[in-house]
Amino acid sequence: MKPPRSFRAMVHGLGLTLLVAGMMSGSLAIQPAGGGQTQPRKETTVTTVPAVRVQAVVLEPIAESFEAVGSVRSRTTTVLSSKVVSYAREVLVREGDRVKAGQPLILLDDRALAAQLRRVEAALAEAQSAADEVEKAIAAAEAARVAAAAHKQFADATLRRYRLMLEQEAVSPQEFDAVLAKQQAAQAELARAEAMIKALQAKKRQVLAKIAQARAEMANAQISLEYTTIRAPIDAVVLERKVEPGMLAAPGVPLLVIEDARAYRLEVYVPESLLGDITLGMRVTLSLEALGRTESVGTVAEIVPTADPTSRTVVVKVDLPSVAALRSGMYGKARFPKGERLAVLLPRSALVERGQLQSVYVVEEGQVARLRLVNTGKIYDDRVEILTGLQVGDKVIVAGVDRLVDGVAVEVIDR
């Protein structure tokens, strides 16, 4: 028999009442012993103010300059060719080789010139032998002349005596004529001896002329033979090799192109309107991209007196310091001084770069950092020129900008 519906409802209500009471009882059981309620914990917030360093904006003088670009050239570039006509037998160098003055570079076929030298040497030896024979003949002729002179002297004395004796009729006319004939014969003999000496001396002069000619030909042959070895005239580096073994070498035909590897110049093109700012001996700041970003100093050595009518530029040659890595054709820049001007310069650490925009933080009233857009110009080592965006007296934050946002309060620790 089921209990009445009113009884079931009463039991269900009693169960809910006990459940709620139990929950309340458990809740009271975990309360603190004092019976008080739990208070929420209060968190303490500490605000940190960034410490920054600032620099006041001032105008300061900076050196004004202008740049010109150009190429490296050696002070001395030499095109080597042969001085004799011959075939190249051996080429001893290649492009890029460094050579010393006097070093053999090309060997030419020297057989024909060597044979010519031997012929000239033989002719010289023959002429010298002829000169020796002439000298001997002259010596013999001199001896004959001395004998003839003595014979004539005796004949002259005898003739004088016989002439006196003839006047005294101590001798006959026939005897006198015989003595006269002997005196005339002695005189003729002396004349022949003197004529022989003159002839031999003339022959000697001819032989000596042949000797001199043979010696000149021999010297020329020796020089021509030396020309078959083409040597470096200076310490240099080989730029171009235009000859190979077997090719014909002749005067005026380029064989090698070399340049002085010890002295280079930067030849730059300067607008003619700026030529008045350049003087010989002026010190110039140089930059060669092939040698890295390191700058060096050169001296203006030459200003070409004519301008290019097309580009309206003038070539200015600047002596470069000695650097082993220099080569002709390298690209370079030269910065020429041009007085001074006033500008605003800030450390590059002050710049805030976001994309294409550049800004700096300026400390305004209330020690608040404000981001301000600027336009920059040239860079001078670790400083950059500010063209627009700042005024003289502005306090620009130069350190600690990476920790800032626009409008944040800051503490200036150094000025």
Are 227 and 82 within 8 A, CB to CB? yes
52-61+343-414 and 82-108+228-258 share one CATH topology? no
CA-CA distances (angstroms) from residue 20 to 9, 30, 35, 134?
17, 16, 20, 163
User: So where are the chain's domains?
Assistant: 52-61+343-414, 66-74+262-341, 82-108+228-258, 111-226
CA distance 214 to 121: 7
Look at residue 54 and tell me whether its pLDDT is greater than 50: yes
Are 230 and 82 within 8 A, CB to CB? yes
Overall pTM > 0.75: no
Classified by CATH at the fold level, domain 52-61+343-414 comes out as 2.40.420
Look at residue 70 and tell me whether its pLDDT is greater than 90: yes
pLDDT at position 402 = 84
Domain 66-74+262-341: top CATH class:
mainly beta
Q: Residue 120 — very low, low, confident or very high, per pLDDT cuts 50/70/90?
A: very high
Look at residue 206 and tell me whether its pLDDT is greater than 50: yes
Tokens 């890029």 — which residue? 96
For residues 103-117, average pLDDT: 95
CA distance 207 to 215: 12
CA distance 103 to 81: 15
Check residue 50 and report its DSSP letter.
Answer: P
pLDDT at position 37 = 45
pLDDT in tens, 255-303: 999 999 888 999 999 999 998 889 999 999 999 887 776 788 999 999 9
Classify each residue of 206-223 as buried b or exposed e, where b means 16 or more C-beta atoms within 10 Å of its C-beta: ebeebbeebbebbeebee
Domain 111-226: top CATH class:
mainly alpha
Q: Residue 51 — very low, low, confident or very high, per pLDDT cuts 50/70/90?
A: confident
Domain 82-108+228-258: top CATH class:
mainly beta
pLDDT in tens, 396-406: 999 888 888 88
pLDDT at position 136 = 92
For residues 228-252, average pLDDT: 94
Cα angle 235, 334, 262 (rounded to 5 degrees) comes to 10
Look at residue 38 and tell me whether its pLDDT is greater than 60: no
Instruction: Give the residue from 78, 203, 61 showing the smallest Cα distance to 131.
Output: 203
Look at residue 3 and tell me whether its pLDDT is greater than 60: no
Are 369 and 394 within 8 A, CB to CB? no
pLDDT at position 25 = 38
For residues 351-356, average pLDDT: 90
Rounded to the nearest 10 degrees, what angle do helices 173-226 and 111-167 cross at? Answer: 170
